Chains A and B, each alone.
Chain A
Amino acid sequence: MYFDNTYEDKWLESDLAKEIVKDVDKSDLEGPNLVVSPVLGSIPVTRISGGAKTLIQIAFDDEHIFNVSACGDNCAKWLLKIGRDKDIFVRMGHIMHFPDESFDIKIANTGDVVHTPFELVEKVIKEGLLN
């Protein structure tokens, strides 16, 4: 709901937003006013998935910390991609399955920096971060 009431048109005119919607929603973001979905047909941008909305907000809104609980595992690679261009800070209430590649993720709760999906899961479980 936050996205629906705060997004800016210019975000939805960017190549990044279009790539996110294409990959996550398998839909074409035609601009700030139209998405073409192979399943739903022509829909307003407010009906794209929660994951796509969250990713777009993370990419373009630097003033807030976003909860990625609405993001499925298919959003993980996009978090890494956005994180390569700028530091991002998110709240993660579940273990997201990141791609099997090297990355730098700092767990704010403990200060640890993890570099692989295995290290992330191990640290989360050992520290009881989801308890």
Chain B
Amino acid sequence: MVGRYDIELYNNKVHYHLNIKRNITVLRGDSASGKSEFIRLLSAYNANPESSGITLISEKTCSVLTEENWRLFVESYKERIFL
């Protein structure tokens, strides 16, 4: 997958807006700068997109890779952003 993609993720407390360019983007920052919270929000959204209270605006599906079988997920899904 190539190109630039906008990801907007927010709830009532925090609002993330990222513009990423494929293939690999590294999220860096001080401790407590919101990196893990972003992942937590996205995981919660994916578990319950309709009822989580979280909004995701993204042209591509975004998934969090946390399982041991991450390689299988990456190989199985195309046109998807993995975090």
- Give the segment of B32-40, B44-52, B57-65 that binds chain A: B32-40
Residue-wise interface mask of A (54-74) relative to B, using a CB-CB cutoff of 8 A (1 in contact, 0 not): 000000000000000011111
| Total B residues in contact with A, Cβ cutoff 8 Å | 10
B20 interfacial by beta-carbon distance below 8 Å: no
Q: Whole-angstrom distance between the alpha carbons of A48 and B13 in the complex?
A: 15
**How many residue-residue contacts, CB under 8 A, span A and B?**
37
Contact B36 A72 (CB under 8 A): no
Contact A70 B31 (CB under 8 A): yes
A73 and B32 within 8 A (CB): no
Does B74 have its Cβ within 8 Å of any Cβ on chain A?
no
- A49: B residues at CB distance < 8 A: 31-32, 36
A26 adjacent to B13 (CB under 8 Å):
no
Complex CA distance for A40 and B34, rounded to whole angstroms? 10
Contact of A39 with B14 in the complex, beta carbons under 8 Å? yes
Q: B33's closest neighbor in chain A, by CB?
A: A72
- CB-defined contacts of B13 to chain A, threshold 8 Å: 39-41
The answer to the question of A75 belonging to the interface, with a C-beta cut-off of 8 Å to chain B, is yes
For A72, the chain B residues whose CB sits under 8 A away are 29-33
On chain A, which size bracket covers the interface?
Answer: 10 to 19
Tell me the smallest distance from the CB of A1 to a CB of chain B, in Å. 11
| Bound: A48/B34 CA distance, A | 10
Asked if B30 contacts A25 (CB within 8 A), the reply is no
User: Roughly how many angstroms separate A71 CA and B31 CA in the complex, as a whole number?
Assistant: 6
Contacts of A41 in B (CB 8 A): 13
A-B contact pairs, 25 of them (CB 8 A): A24-B31, A24-B32, A25-B31, A27-B32, A39-B13, A39-B14, A39-B34, A40-B13, A40-B14, A40-B37, A41-B13, A48-B32, A49-B31, A49-B36, A50-B36, A51-B30, A52-B31, A52-B32, A70-B31, A72-B32, A72-B33, A74-B30, A74-B31, A74-B32, A75-B31
Please provide the 7 A-B residue pairs with the shortest distance between their CB atoms, ordered closest to farther.
A51-B31, A49-B32, A72-B30, A72-B31, A74-B30, A25-B32, A49-B31
